[in-house]
Each structure stands twice: as structure tokens, then as C-alpha cells.
Amino acid sequence: MIKNRWVIDMDLRDIKEFLKDAFKYIVTAIVVIFIFLYVVTIQQVIGPSMSPTLSNKDIVVLNKMHYRFFKVKRFDIVALEYEDTKYLIKRVIGLPGEKVEYKNNELYVNNKILKEEFLKEGIKTDDFSIKDLHVESIPKDMYLVLGDNRENSMDSREIGFVLKKDILGKVIVKFWPITEFKLVR
């Protein structure tokens, strides 16, 4: 009789330990799911539009919370939603209220030349003005975005300005291929 009682007590202790361990794993899984749903996510670059900064099939980490606390800045690389199902990765060139144009392969913002240090030698940007989009300056809560591969990019020159609400987050890290791991700027 006593022997059976000891076995039952032991089983209850084992069950309690199992439940404690299972609870830790469940909480960890919930935290990881929360982080991937609301804080960061992984995106794959599709196409050559951000080359050479990002290449086709590169995998990047996207910080989805960044723009809840910070403003969108010029030259940030962002992921944005386009036409409900398509996600694009582009670089922010123009901010709300600005007048932007390209002349002779140079970026002018409010009539001042800005250097695009991230562009590789030989990348050409055709002449373009936001007046081509039928506005004098970029509307409130909208952004002008371009791909780094200006000659092969579907961007604001084609799709128009991007609403702030359509920006999913800031690209912060390129982690695949692993041999090209780097912080994205």
C-alpha cells in the first residue's frame, strides 16, 4: 500500500514539473510570435530595383515599430504595401512638403543639390520632377520613394507617392545570404 502511494506522489511531482516546463515554452513561443507579428518581420527582396544595395532574393529584417516612434527620414530603406498583395522595398527620397526633382543626374530638394552617397558610380537617374505627378510639393503624410537601380525600378515615378500608412517598416539588416550579412543604411 505504501509503495503505491509513493508512486502516485512521484507522478504528481513529475506532472507539476512537466507543466512548469511546458508553461515556460508556451510563454516563450507567445513572445516570439508577438515579436514577429508586431515588432520585426522578415522580407525577401524581389527583383533588381534596389541593386546593388540589395539584390534579388536577399532576405532582410524589417523593424515594424520604428516609425511609431521616429519620423521617416530621407534615404531610409523601407518596405511598403502596394496594391494589397505586393510588397516593395524602396529608398525614401522626398518628404512631405518638399519640392523634388532630378536634373542632369543630380537630386534637387527645395532647389538645393543633395548627394546620394549610396548610389554606385554609373547609376543614372533620368530627369524627373514631382510636377510630373501634378503637384508643386509632396502632399502631407506622403513620400517619394525610388529604387537604387533607377533604370529598372517600379517606384514613385510610376506608382505615385506613398502614404505613410502604407509604409510597413524600416529595413535594418540584410542577413541572407549570410556571407553578405550587414546593417542596411
Residue 176: the pLDDT is 85
| Residue 90: active-site member | yes
Q: Which of 3, 16, 24, 49 does the annotation list as catalytic?
A: 49
Residues 126 and 35 in one domain: no
Nearest to 67 by CA among 172, 167, 174: 167
Indicate if 159 and 106 belong to the same structural domain: yes
Predicted confidence at residue 10, as pLDDT, reads 57
Do 31 and 57 have their domain in common? no
Q: Is residue 100 domain-shared with residue 28, that is, in the same domain?
A: no
- For residue 82, which of 117, 111, 46 has the smallest C-alpha distance? 46
Tens-place pLDDT, residues 49-83: 888 889 889 989 899 888 888 899 999 999 998 87
Is residue 150 helix, strand or coil? Answer: helix
Q: Same domain, yes or no, for 102 and 154?
A: yes
Give yes or no for residue 84 having a pLDDT over 70.
no
62 and 21 fall within a common domain: no
- What is the pLDDT at residue 1? 47
Residue 176: in which H helix or E strand, if any? strand 167-176
**Does residue 119 surpass a pLDDT of 50?**
yes
Answer yes or no: are the C-beta atoms of 107 and 93 closer than 8 Å.
Answer: yes
Q: Tell me: do 64 and 82 sit in the same domain.
A: yes
Amino acid at 18: F
How confident is the model over 147-171, as pLDDT tens digits? 988 888 888 888 889 999 899 899 9
From 51, 64, 90, 174, the catalytic residue: 90
**Count of structural domains within the chain:** 2
CATH number of the domain where residue 99 is located: 2.10.109.10
Residue 49 appears among annotated catalytic residues: yes
Residues 50 and 22 in one domain: no
Task: Count the Cβ atoms, other than its own, within 10 Å of residue 81.
Answer: 15
- Identify the domain containing residue 65 by its residue range: 45-183
Pair 28, 116 in one domain: no
